[in-house]
Structure 1
Amino acid sequence: MSFQGTENYIATRALQVAVNAAVTLQKPLLIKGEPGTGKTLLAYEVAAALGKSLFTWNVKSTTTAQQGLYEYDAVARLRDSQLGDGNINDIEHYIKKGKLWEAFDSEEQVVLLIDEIDKADIEFPNDLLNELDKMEFYCYELKRTIKAKHRPIIIITSNNEKELPDAFLRRCFFHYISFPDRETMKQIVDVHYPDLEEKLITNSMSIFYGIRDIKALKKKPSTSELIDWIKLLLVGKVSADLLEDFQRNTEIPPFIGALLKNEQDSGLYEALRNKTKRPY
């Protein structure tokens, strides 16, 4: 089996190659790219395309590597011992399996998504080196080694908020999802809105890429935000001709808040529109 994208996910040839290479090499696939370029969604679509279950580990700033393995609730065991609960001798009763353990325990190969790994502490990736290499870890409370029954397909996403350690990078296959060009973006829009008028797609994308071309923007609008904006245009019954009129004059296109997410960018765009007035 190989990944070639799905009906709901347009994967470039380079991305298809990256996914299949990582699967072949049995290495984690490290995916970087702008927010909104489909990094997280990729894991869902890979799982769907290959017919495998998906385990998702959402990383936060407070997440530790240990939580992905397991957590031992010593407080609950102490409380039960004071109350005379009969389960205190069953240590496994007080162990909560993490996503890595669950993926290792699966009877079939699964896809494991470690989402936004760069949100955690800098030592987080280093703390997973042995587990990702050997596909096993030791549970001290149970005095046994937990080994993967089937090596999971691991997809790791990063928004590049901080540099990842070299030792961790060496163990991954890396791919950067470049922002879609107009042709690829049109294919993505067609997936979400297959019956959309061609002229509306052209005009909305023209405005969208025009905004992205503004160099001083603090946050450039993403693919997902374009999809949201088009939905609002349809709900608001904004025609392709009306969008064309907005391109010609100084008025701000409707629902621009779907694309520009802070006052600095909104003010900059409005100032540029006023400065570059076009005649009818």
Structure 2
Amino acid sequence: MLVRTKVATISPAETEGVGKKRLWTMAHQDALIGYLFILPQLAGITIFVVVPLVLVFWYSLHEWNVLAGNFDYTGLDNYRQLFADPVLPEILRVTGIFSIGLVAFNMSLALLLAILLNQKLHGIILFRTLFFSPVVVSLVAWTIVWGFLLQKDGGINGLLAVIGVEGPNWLRNETSAMVSVIIVQVFKNVGLNMVLFLAALQNVPGELYEAALMDGASRWQQFLRITLPLISPTVLLTAIITIVGSLQVFAQIAVLTQGGPGTSTTVLVYYLYQQAFQFHLFGYGSTLSILLFVIVAILTFAQWQLRKKWVFYEA
């Protein structure tokens, strides 16, 4: 007995339709939505970071004097001038001193304030607000006020005179000028790091301190063995932010000391400004910008690579 079976056939049109459906799947839709979400940020990075960086490198290969109207290709001449610049080693030394002093003072003070303000006391929110308020103050206004306070007959020396101490002209002495600029910058931005440390401290489980206290651990031991390891990711974040910020300080130097006395407060960013906008050597100024970019990139990369040795969650 023969049994006839009917074989289903698919027309070419249907086959083409199936193929088209496979080219546009749910995964492709999700990917497109994701790309649309990051498109504004990607466009911003491209326009305001990548393109300017490429242009700066291009300008560094030219001799560009705006006043004379010159824009001549010089190849690597600006980079040769960079290595032969007799002033640059002193500028890098001053930049290093400024950055190390600012980072050490800022992070130490921020952590100390965060520990002190991480208490459940009446009115503690007011103190947190007071210490954070300089962050939102205009940078130029803040610097101008401190410029008046640090003058020979300014408010700081007035307070010292009350206790019988004659203060120096803070901004006209090489040592005191550097210290003054560092303190002004630290007081301006320490509140930001303080808030970051405070948030990290509030996420440390209290049970760990109770267990350590029962085991007889001192306050210092609790800080070294519990607090510091658990907030180490925040320490890494604040270190990167503070170091990069210290290498980009300009307004405070320009308003307070103009790089003086001599070159005692002339950091790399201010030296770059002088070459480009005061001496109109935009080609050499662009070369200094590339040097600054390389320094920041190396320091950030080094910190990121070293994180596995001291960041608790990366061990």
Shared fold (TM-score, shorter chain, > 0.5): no
Larger of the two Rg values belongs to structure: 2
Structure with more relative contact order (C-alpha pairs < 8 Å, separation 6 or more): 2
TM-score tier, shorter chain, comes to under 0.3
Q: Between Structure 1 and Structure 2, which shows a larger proportion of helix residues?
A: 2
Q: Between Structure 1 and Structure 2, which shows a larger proportion of strand residues?
A: 1
TM-score if structure 2 supplies the norm length? 0.18
TM-score if structure 1 supplies the norm length? 0.20
